[in-house]
Structure formats: structure tokens, C-alpha cells
Amino acid sequence: MNADFDIYQLPEEHEYLRQSVRELAEEQIAPHATDVDENERFPQEARDALTKAGFHAVHIPEQFDGAGADSIAACIVIEEVARVCMSSSLIPAVNKLGSMPIILSASDEVKKQVLPSIASGESMISYGLSEREAGSDAAAMRTKAVKDGDNWVINGTKAWITNAGVSDWYTVMAVTDADKRANGISAFVVHKDDEGFEVGPKEKKLGIKGSPTRELHFTNCVVPEDRMIGDEGTGFKTALATLDHTRPTIGIQAVGVAQGALDASIAYTKEREQFRSKISDFQGVQFMLADMAMKIEAARQMCYIAAARAERGEKNLGFISSAAKCFASDVAMEVTTNAVQLFGGAGYTRDFPVERMMRDAKITQIYEGTNQIQRVVMARSLIGR
């Protein structure tokens, strides 16, 4: 035996981070989660608490005034916040999604313009890829950008943009050369005060009701040429490379909500009595709890491995990041549905958090690519296309 054997074990600093975020989440985020959901309001308390503690965007490199935390640390923050409130976990998750195109591909000038304001918490950033008619087939987008002197002029509409209206910055993919399809798409950083930019009304959703989802409208929106991310025509590649880094964060968000539902189920089944026994004494209930915990643990490890591989900058991340997101989100849907089952009638009411968790979990099977699209990505990687 070797007690110092540290392969397949998170370093102490990561466990310490988990403990700190868990305490903050339980004390300052969980108490507002029901109200945020019921009133479909932005979790400002969570934003304030996360920002004060420096957990709102831990991934921003030190060079740009950030904490420079690694991808597993970023996952741990998202996981622990999602365990109590999925809507709130979209603050660190989408700050990462929106800023990854810049971190991966932008010039130092763009990085200096945008990243310090995300690092300080003064601003949030969203990611604008999808359109109404271009979801799974994102390369079919219609939003276009035309060069005009020293500026680009953007026209079109992006759909389903998380945290739109709260964010100051938006990374936006637009067609700059329609003949080249995916190679004719470029990425830009847009600021909420840019001329010709506005956001639409909030979508009315099944879950994550505290996280506003809106359209972005561009009407002759003028963006200075130095706010292009990377070279002209590289925007779609950057958008996909971003998803390789952020799909593990959606997977871990799913793990977090599933863990929250399991924890609530364990507590409830140890209290609730039927047939003059605690329901946790019934083997049928115990087996459900065991299956839930087993699948959550497998999903968690897969997400950390995907995050670690992304952190190392490994090539061919497509399979592992899609697999982690797909597996974990399918687990979250199953676990949260079973949590409602374990609460019986009470689980179907809004008196307990598990119905919210079940509604919130569903989106993890849809955004950043549906789980069908994740399977397309995995299959392509397997058969070499």
C-alpha cells in the first residue's frame, strides 16, 4: 500500500476549492434558488456572492488579471453551484463559454480589451452561435458581417443566447463569405453599447428560469475591425474548438444537479415512513439510490478526464468532450426523474427542490449541441470522418 499514490485523485487544493464553493453555495445561493425559479428572475445574489469570492470566472488567465485556474477547478465551481441552483451555475459556465473563443483565438489587444472586465466581475460575456434556422446545423447561419472601411457591419439575429441582456460582451459568429460555407464564418466581440445592437424579450422556458435566454438583434451594428477574433474565416473553427473545452462544463453542470437531487433523495427517504418503516429501509429504494450514485460518479470522472485533456491542449478532444457531456446529461435526466419518484406525490410539488432539478436537468441534453449531435461527433471520431 502507498498512501501517497496520487494518480486518479484530485490534488488537495481542488478539494479545498470544492469545500469553499460548497459552503458559499449552500449559504448564499441555495436560499434563493426557489424564488429565482418561481419568479423567473436573474440570481443577482449568486452573481454578487460568486464575484465577491472570485468564483464567477476562475478560468481567466492571470496575464489578464484572472485567477488562472485550470479546467478541473472551473468544473468544480460549476458542479457545486449547480448542485444547489442550475440557473446560478450558468454565471461561471457561460462566462467560460463566451470568453473561450477569445482565449483560444483572439489577439492580445482583444484579450486586453475584454478579459480583465470578466475577471473583475464588472462584466459578463455570452456566446452567440445559434440561430432559429441554424441550431444543430450551426454552419447554416444567416447573420452576416460586411466590411465597411475600418469597421464590420453586422446584420441578422442570433437565437437562444444564455444570459443575454445581463452580459456586457458577446462573442458572435457571422458569415463574412457566403461562398465558403463554414470557412466563410468569422467571430467577433460585440459590446452591448455598440450601435445597432439590442436584445429581444426573455424566452419562457421549462427550466433554468433564472438564466435569461434571449435573441440578439443586429441592425447595421458597427463593430471596429480590431474586434474580430482571429483571422477572417476562422470563426466556425473557433466556435467548435470552444465547445471542445466547454462541453465538459455542461457535463459537470449535469453532475451537479444530479448530485443535488441524490442528496435530497437520501435525506428524504431516511425521514419518510410508510409501512411502519423508513422508506430507505426498502431494498427497492436502496437499489434506486445506489444506481443514482453509481451513475453520477461515473459521469463525474468522465467530465474531469475530459476537462484535464482539454487543459493539456490535447488534439482530438471531440470524442471525450462529447461523450462526457452526453453521458452526464443523460445520467442527470435519469437521476432527477428518479429523485421525483422517490419523493412520491411530494416530489411532484414545488414544496421540494427535486421537480425544479428535473426541469433544469433537461436543458443539459439540448444545449451546446443536442445529445443526438454529440453522438454524431463521437461516431465521426470513431469512424474517422
Ligand X SMILES: Cc1cc2nc3c(=O)[nH]c(=O)nc-3n(C[C@H](O)[C@H](O)[C@H](O)COP(=O)(O)OP(=O)(O)OC[C@H]3O[C@@H](n4cnc5c(N)ncnc54)[C@H](O)[C@@H]3O)c2cc1C
| Cβ distance to ligand X smaller for residue 55 or 170 | 170
Of the pair 44, 372, the CB lying nearest ligand X is at 372
Q: Considering the complex, state which of residue 265 and residue 374 has its C-beta at the smaller distance from ligand X.
A: 374
Task: Give 308-338 as a DSSP string.
Answer: HHHHTT-S--HHHHHHHHHHHHHHHHHHHHH
Q: Active-site residue among 79, 131, 355, 368?
A: 368
Cβ 279 to ligand X, closest distance in Å? 34
The three three-digit cell numbers of residue 30, written as one number: 441555495
Between 160 and 268, name the residue whose CB sits nearer to ligand X. 160
* Whether the Cβ atoms of residue 197 and residue 158 lie closer than 8 Å to each other: no
Contact yes or no for 172/228 (Cβ under 8 A): no
Question: In angstroms, rounded to a whole number, what is the distance separating the alpha carbons of residues 312 and 95?
Answer: 20
CB 376 to ligand X: min, Å: 6
Q: At 83, list the grid cell.
A: 448542485
Strands (E), 88-179: 125-128, 144-148, 151-162, 169-175
Which among 29, 78, 33 is positioned nearest to 208, based on CA atoms? 33
Which residues would be at the binding site for ligand X (CB under 6 A)? 126-130, 135-136, 160-162, 205, 208, 213, 363, 366-370, 372-373, 376
Helices 71-82 & 86-105 angle (0-180, nearest 10): 160
* Nearest distance in Å: CB 373, ligand X: 6
- Please, is 62 exposed, middle or buried when counting C-beta atoms within 10 Å of its C-beta (0-12, 13-18, 19+)? exposed
Does 368 qualify as catalytic in the annotation?
yes
Min. distance of Cβ 47 from ligand X in angstroms? 17
Q: Where are the beta strands (DSSP E) in the chain?
A: 125-128, 144-148, 151-162, 169-175, 185-191, 197-199, 213-224, 228-229, 273-274, 277-278
Closest approach of Cβ 160 to ligand X, in Å? 3
Q: What is the rounded CA–CA span in Å between residue 332 and residue 338?
A: 10
Cβ 57 to ligand X shortest distance, Å: 15
CB of 127 or CB of 268, closer to ligand X: 127
> Which CB sits closer to ligand X, 257 or 264?
257
Grid coordinates 435573441 are at which residue? 215
- Partner residues linked to 268 by β-bridges: none
**Which residues are marked as active site?**
368
